[in-house]
A and B are shown apart, each in its own frame.
Chain A
Amino acid sequence: MKHFAVKYLREEKLPTPFCPGCGNGILMNAFFKAVEELGYRDLRNFVFCSGIGCAAWIPSPHFMADSIHTLHGRAVPVATGIKLMKPHLKVVVIGGDGDLAGIGLSHLIHAARRNIGLTVIMVNNMIYGMTGGQVAPTTPRGIKTTTTPKGNLEDPIDVARILVEAGAPYVAKWTTYHVISLKNSIKKALRKKCFTYIEVVSQCPTSYGRNAGFKNPSEMLKWFKENSITYEKAKKMGRDIWKKKIVVGEYVDIYREELTERIRMEDLDYEN
């Protein structure tokens, strides 16, 4: 029997080029489970946009769908152009932390502010993996990378909290350990019309794990499990907790009228 997800994939392009132990496969699995549980038999209603980096290769060319592999950091504005012209499509951005939190961060903030109906999934492996393990804006303090040989002197950025402040109606953050919750969040996000953001802290055993002292991928997953606390708990604790732990859960889930809906209302005015 074929794996349930094969129908969503370009079979001739498998296996993926990802390293053994990479978290990308866990996200793919969670994404397809969500899509299947929502009743999609194929990905005809979806357009995927991705930038440059390992996570950007998740949809392109593996997904059996329309998929636009854009420049580094520019998946969100390309997706914005598509969504504005074809609001009925599910436009999903999948990218890494270098792509979305580094070079492309301003686009992400503005997409949240506009509340344009994209679903953005950021695979946060805390490193530039494809280029060989350079420090990222998400790398924790003290971690040795190829460009911080004595350890990272900077503090990491917390994209989820930034997007809450920017006005994103739905923000969730999980790790590759929290597969079921991740799947449920993706399901919830894909049902919504508004801008939705899901971050998944993921393991990169090759470029991050080795330098950070992890012996194997499963050690990293164990670390995710032990080092994360829920958003509800974190809210009751001091400010330091956000730097010490991975805060998982739904950061926000509210209603705000989505941009293309607002445009459609204005459009109706021109008809009358």
Chain B
Amino acid sequence: MFWQGNVACAEAAVKAGCRFFAGYPITPASEIAERMAQILPEVHGIFMQMEDEIAAINAIIGASWAGAKSMTATSGPGFSLMQEGIGYAFMTETPCVIVVVQRLGPATGQASKGGQGNFMQARWGTHGDYSAIVLSPNSAQEMFDLTVEAFNLSEKYRTPVILLADELSAHIVEPVKIPERIVVVDRRKARDHSEPFFGSSDPKGIPPMPEVGEGLNILVTGSTHDEWGYRYTSDPDVHRKLVTRIYWKIEGNVRDIADYEADIDEKAKVGIVSYGCSSRTVYEAIDRLRGRGIRVSHLRFRTLWPFPDWIVEELAEKVNVILVPELSLGQFCREVERAAHGKARIISITKIGGGEMITPKEIIEVVERI
């Protein structure tokens, strides 16, 4: 298929089992909603354009409790509006997928221009303690593949998953290969009261999820709740137990969730760590550097959160310097620096404005100066 990234995302969602989409128009994510409006009815799914992004996130939460795999797609301003709802999805352990096509901010910013300024927001956007799964594609193909992955992780871990795309991967038109066999994961469903819906004896456990309308008398609340969903807002232990489990069910499985591309030259003294659109510049820069006999390693993350610390640390042990190119003023670099534990010098390469990419030449110039 010769698809735009946003189209690939919508097509993948339906193939992953998505049957409910609620959204609100926003550049540069609107094509996802437009495609969903076309293809969801063909599989008896529901497309709904809501009155705002707050309604969109809450509608997909409702649909998820009615048993549907559900999704919304937005960009910075809409993502900001959705934050309270995303927190509700974390607290109530509601699987759903939120696609965020990054543009330039803060506020309305530059609507149609690419950026990578939502890296931290995707992890820390809503209040309270939790851990988020955030994936980031760098091509139309990965808009397809990682959308499927986002649904699978969401269902497996019973948690919202954020697909943090950017304007480039969303609007680029490229060949997309649909895999012959697509692995689809479905949530573990509660059919009776044999296991609690919101608790587990395992501190990293993922409880089974019931569905409304099946006579189970389920209680769902965003307030602190016990393992059957009853509100307990004054017991410190109930809160501690619930929220630490919600945190550890993700953080404790970071090695299962981590997905990355490693192009490691064991003798290289220069490393580059990137994600999303910036990584495409790095590919070109590395080709040119290697052509000139300069040895470089490259790590490119498909999973941004939970942050795969150990992979960065391993690289930091091998190289002297790590370059971190990104289209934001050092959000990603800050995390790389933390994970490197001082084992390598970190150089941040940043650019914002107009959707202009960091060029291969700019990366090469930094390498030459080292």
Contact = CB atoms under 8 A, between A and B. Distances in A.
Contacts of B148: none
Contacts of A68: 62, 65, 212, 220-221
A29 B41 CA distance: 41
B213 interface: yes
B42 interface: yes
A267 interface: yes
Interface in B291-310: none
A177 to B, nearest CB: 31
B175 interface: no
B370 to A, nearest CB: 50
B15 interface: no
A74 B50 CA distance: 13
Contacts of A67: 218-220
A110 B51 contact: yes
Interface stretch (A75-83, A153-161, A180-188, A224-232): A75-83
Contacts of B61: 70, 78, 81
B46 A84 contact: yes
B178 interface: no
A86 B212 contact: yes
Interface residues of B, number: 43
A21 interface: no
Contacts of B229: 61
Interface string B47-72: 01011101110111111111110100
Contacts of B56: 77
Contacts of A70: 58, 61, 88, 222
Given A68-B65, A70-B222, 15 more contacts: A10-B217, A60-B221, A61-B229, A69-B221, A69-B231, A70-B58, A70-B61, A71-B85, A71-B222, A77-B50, A78-B58, A78-B62, A85-B62, A88-B213, A106-B52
16 contacts: A44-B215, A60-B221, A66-B216, A68-B65, A68-B221, A69-B219, A69-B221, A70-B88, A79-B62, A81-B58, A81-B64, A84-B46, A84-B66, A85-B68, A88-B213, A106-B52
Interface of A: 10, 13, 44-45, 47, 49, 60-61, 64-71, 74, 76-82, 84-86, 88-89, 106-107, 110, 263, 266-267, 270
Q: Which 9 A-B pairs have the closest CB atoms?
A: A81-B62, A85-B66, A77-B58, A81-B63, A78-B62, A69-B221, A81-B59, A77-B55, A66-B212
